[in-house]
Chains A and B, each alone.
Chain A
Amino acid sequence: MLKFILSRLLTFLPTFFGVTLISFAFIRLLPGDPITVLAGERGISAERHAELMTEFGFDQPMLIQYWDYLKGVVQGDLGQSLVTKKPVWDEFFTLFPATLELSICAIIFAVALGLPAGVIAAVNRGKFFDRLLMSSALVGYSMPIFWWALLLIIAFSGWLGWTPVSGRISLMYYFDSGTGFMLIDSLRSGQDGAFWSAVHHLILPTIVLGTIPLAVIARQTRSAMLEVLSEDYIRTARAKGLAPFRVNGVHALRNALIPVITVIGLSVGTLLAGAILTETIFSWPGIGKWMVDSIFRRDYPVVQGGLLLIAVMVMIVNLIVDMLYGFINPKIRKR
Chain B
Amino acid sequence: MPLLEIRNLSVDFATSSGQFRAVDGIDLSVDKGELLAIVGESGSGKSVSMLAMMGLLPWTATITADVMSFDGHDLRALGPRQRRRIVGKDMAMIFQEPMSSLNPCFTTGFQIKEALRLHLGLDRKARHRRAVELFEMVGIPAPEDRLKVFPHQMSGGMNQRVMIAMAIACGPKLLIADEPTTALDVTIQAQILDLLTGLQRDSGMALILITHDMGVVAETAERVSVQYAGQKVEEQKVADLFETPHHPYTAALLAALPERATSRHLPTIPGVVPGQFDRPRGCLFSPRCKFADDRCKAEPPAPAGSGLGLARCHYPLNARSEVSA
Q: Which residues of A contact B (CB under 8 A)?
A: 231-233, 235-243, 251, 254-255, 328-331
Give chain B nearest CB distance to A76 CB in angstroms. Answer: 41
Give chain B nearest CB distance to A100 CB in angstroms. Answer: 30
Give chain B nearest CB distance to A321 CB in angstroms. Answer: 17
Given contacts A235-B56, A330-B105, contact A240 B150 (CB under 8 A): no
Contact across chains for A243 and B84 when beta carbons are under 8 A apart: yes
What is the bound-complex CA distance between A236 and B86, given in angstroms?
15
Q: Which of B55, B105, B152, B163 contacts A236 (CB 8 A)?
A: B163
Which 3 pairs of residues, A with B, have the shortest CB-CB distance?
A241-B88, A240-B88, A232-B100
Given contacts A241-B85, A242-B84, A331-B150, contact A236 B118 (CB under 8 A): no
Given contacts A232-B95, A331-B152, contact A241 B100 (CB under 8 A): no
Contact across chains for A233 and B100 when beta carbons are under 8 A apart: yes
A253 nearest in chain B by CB position: B105
Q: How many B residues are at the interface, by size bracket? A: 20 to 34
B119 within 8 A of partner (CB) = yes
B83 nearest in chain A by CB position: A241
B62 within 8 A of partner (CB) = no
Q: Which of A235, A240, A254, A330 contacts B114 (CB 8 A)?
A: A240
What is the bound-complex CA distance between A77 and B117, given in angstroms?
59
Q: Show 24 residue pairs from A and B whose CB-CB distance is below 8 angstroms, ordered by the A residue.
A: A233-B102, A235-B56, A236-B101, A236-B163, A236-B166, A238-B55, A239-B56, A239-B92, A239-B93, A239-B167, A240-B114, A240-B118, A241-B84, A241-B115, A241-B118, A242-B114, A251-B106, A254-B103, A254-B106, A329-B105, A330-B105, A330-B150, A331-B104, A331-B152
Q: Which residues of chain A come closer than 8 Å to B85, judged between CB atoms?
A: 241
Q: Which residues of chain B come closer than 8 Å to A243, judged between CB atoms?
A: 84
Most buried by B among A237, A240, A243: A240
What is the bound-complex CA distance between A231 and B119, given in angstroms?
24
Give chain B nearest CB distance to A130 CB in angstroms. Answer: 13
Q: Which residues of chain A come closer than 8 Å to B86, judged between CB atoms?
A: 241
Q: Given A235-B51, A241-B115, A331-B105, list of 5 further CB < 8 A pairs?
A: A240-B114, A240-B118, A241-B84, A330-B150, A330-B152
Given contacts A242-B114, A331-B152, contact A237 B95 (CB under 8 A): no
Q: Which residues of chain A come closer than 8 Å to B87, judged between CB atoms?
A: 238-241
Contact across chains for A330 and B88 when beta carbons are under 8 A apart: no
Most buried by B among A231, A328, A329, A330: A330
Give chain B nearest CB distance to A31 CB in angstroms. Answer: 54
A328 nearest in chain B by CB position: B105
Give chain A nearest CB distance to B162 CB in angstroms. Answer: 10
Q: Which of A237, A238, A240, A255 contacts B104 (CB 8 A)?
A: A255
Contact across chains for B95 and A242 when beta carbons are under 8 A apart: no
What is the bound-complex CA distance between A242 and B56, given in angstroms?
12
What is the bound-complex CA distance between A235 and B89, given in angstroms?
15
List B60-105 residues whose CB lies under 8 Å from chain A: 84-89, 92-93, 95, 97, 100-105
Q: Which residues of chain B come closer than 8 Å to A238, judged between CB atoms?
A: 55-56, 87
B193 within 8 A of partner (CB) = no
Q: Which of B54, B100, B104, B119 contacts A239 (CB 8 A)?
A: B54
Q: Which of A233, A242, A255, A330 contacts B118 (CB 8 A)?
A: A242
Contact across chains for B119 and A241 when beta carbons are under 8 A apart: yes
Contact across chains for A240 and B166 when beta carbons are under 8 A apart: yes
Contact across chains for B104 and A233 when beta carbons are under 8 A apart: yes
What is the bound-complex CA distance between A326 and B163, given in angstroms?
24
Given contacts A241-B87, A241-B89, A331-B152, contact A236 B104 (CB under 8 A): no
Contact across chains for A235 and B118 when beta carbons are under 8 A apart: no
Contact across chains for B105 and A237 when beta carbons are under 8 A apart: no
What is the bound-complex CA distance between A235 and B85, given in angstroms?
16
Q: Which of A236, A239, A241, A328 contacts B103 (CB 8 A)?
A: A236
Q: Which residues of chain A come closer than 8 Å to B106, judged between CB atoms?
A: 251, 254
What is the bound-complex CA distance between A237 and B106, given in angstroms?
12
Contact across chains for A231 and B105 when beta carbons are under 8 A apart: no
Give chain A nearest CB distance to B116 CB in angstroms. Answer: 10
Give chain B nearest CB distance to A53 CB in angstroms. Answer: 61
Q: Which of A236, A241, A242, A254 contacts B102 (CB 8 A)?
A: A236
Given contacts A240-B115, A241-B115, contact A254 B56 (CB under 8 A): no
What is the bound-complex CA distance between A28 and B106, given in angstroms?
53
Q: Which residues of chain B come closer than 8 Å to A241, judged between CB atoms?
A: 84-89, 115, 118-119
What is the bound-complex CA distance between A240 and B169, given in angstroms?
10
Q: Which residues of chain B come closer than 8 Å to A237, judged between CB atoms?
A: 103
Q: Which residues of chain A come closer than 8 Å to B101, judged between CB atoms?
A: 232-233, 235-236
Give chain A nearest CB distance to B222 CB in angstroms. Answer: 25
A230 nearest in chain B by CB position: B58
What is the bound-complex CA distance between A83 and B89, given in angstroms?
74
Contact across chains for B88 and A242 when beta carbons are under 8 A apart: yes
Most buried by A among B104, B150, B163: B104
What is the bound-complex CA distance between A329 and B167, given in angstroms?
24
What is the bound-complex CA distance between A236 and B108, given in angstroms?
13
Q: Which of A231, A239, A255, A329 contacts B88 (CB 8 A)?
A: A239
What is the bound-complex CA distance between A97 and B195, given in angstroms?
62
Give chain B nearest CB distance to A82 CB in angstroms. Answer: 52
Q: Which residues of chain B come closer than 8 Å to A233, judged between CB atoms?
A: 100-104
What is the bound-complex CA distance between A170 and B42, given in angstroms?
71
Give chain A nearest CB distance to B244 CB in angstroms. Answer: 37
Contact across chains for A254 and B95 when beta carbons are under 8 A apart: no
